[in-house]
């Protein structure tokens, strides 16, 4: 009777079979579907559709045939998905708008602990409290709410809240600068505007008010 080499030595066959099964299970469990939380989802969503995609979709729809029930169900499902996505984006926009409010108490405590004396620590904290809100307001549309600008979410209220909190943060920083005497808030800061009168002539005759009657 003829015996193959695999029957004579079954160990390599078993090793190859187990290796093949491991690779197959690893690749079959791989999920290549791109979802909303993945990196690059919003950038790919903004890309234009490839050439011929619309014609292919119409062809598949024509092959499936008219079905009012399935069409209604698909439309309702897509609308519910759109509503869920809009609600999620709105909640994300509100969380971004409330971020400065979470940083204000920490910065206020640090400014209180730094004191009113001029030193490196107090100057750094005060400068950060003044420049950071201004930078946040100026770059609000590009950095903070840039990823949500292309959606169907109304960003007017989150932006107003974001600006209001940054203005409160800026007012706190300006108050700290005023307590450190870095702002011109007293009359002594404007002494350079005082115009001193020059005497035109001098006389040794006392005025009439000083002459005894």
Mean pLDDT of the 62-70 span: 59
More confident residue, 38 or 1: 38
Local structure of residue 193 (DSSP, 8 states):
G
Instruction: Say which range, 54-58, 123-127, 154-158, has the weakest mean pLDDT.
Output: 54-58
- Go through 37-75 and write b for each residue having 16 or more CB atoms within 10 A of its CB, e for each that does not: eeeeeeeeeeeeeeeeeeeeeeeeeeeeeeeeeeeeeee
More confident residue, 72 or 16: 16
pTM more than 0.75: no
More confident residue, 59 or 159: 159
Whole-number Å distance between alpha carbons of 205 and 42: 91
Instruction: Say which range, 33-37, 64-68, 168-172, has the weakest mean pLDDT.
Output: 64-68
More confident residue, 148 or 7: 148
Mean pLDDT of the 168-190 span: 87
pLDDT class of 211 with cuts at 50, 70, 90: low
Q: Residue 97 is encoded by which pair of tokens?
A: 């708008």
Instruction: Say which range, 6-20, 105-119, 186-200, has the weakest mean pLDDT.
Output: 6-20
Whole-number Å distance between alpha carbons of 162 and 141: 11
Whole-number Å distance between alpha carbons of 32 and 172: 49
Report the pLDDT value the prediction gives residue 199, as an integer from 0 to 100: 73
User: Is the separation of the CB atoms in 204 and 157 below 8 Å?
Assistant: no
Report the pLDDT value the prediction gives residue 195, as an integer from 0 to 100: 80
Whole-number Å distance between alpha carbons of 53 and 120: 61
Most confident of 52-56, 186-190, 208-212: 186-190
Report whether pLDDT(200) > 60: yes
Report the pLDDT value the prediction gives residue 2, as an integer from 0 to 100: 45
Mean pLDDT for the chain? 76
Report the pLDDT value the prediction gives residue 119, as an integer from 0 to 100: 86
């Amino acid at each position: 009777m003829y015996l193959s080499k695999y029957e004579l030595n079954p160990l390599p066959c078993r090793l190859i079979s187990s290796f093949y099964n491991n690779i197959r299970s690893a690749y079959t469990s791989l999920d290549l579907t791109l979802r909303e939380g993945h990196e690059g989802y919003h950038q790919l969503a903004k890309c234009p559709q490839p050439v011929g995609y619309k014609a292919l979709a119409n062809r598949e729809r024509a092959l499936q045939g008219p079905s009012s029930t399935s069409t209604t169900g698909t439309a309702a499902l897509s609308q519910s998905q759109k509503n869920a996505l809009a609600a999620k984006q709105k909640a994300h926009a509100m969380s971004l708008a409330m971020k400065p409010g979470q940083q204000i108490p920490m910065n206020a405590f640090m400014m209180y602990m730094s004191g009113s004396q001029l030193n490196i620590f107090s100057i750094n904290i005060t400068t950060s409290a003044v420049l950071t809100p201004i930078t946040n307001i100026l770059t609000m549309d590009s950095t903070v709410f840039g990823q949500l600008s292309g959606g169907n979410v109304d960003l007017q209220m989150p932006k107003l809240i974001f600006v209001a909190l940054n203005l409160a943060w800026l007012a706190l920083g300006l108050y700290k600068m005023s307590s450190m005497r870095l702002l011109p808030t007293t009359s002594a800061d404007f002494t350079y505007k005082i115009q001193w009168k020059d005497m035109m002539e001098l006389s040794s005759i006392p005025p009439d008010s000083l002459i005894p009657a």
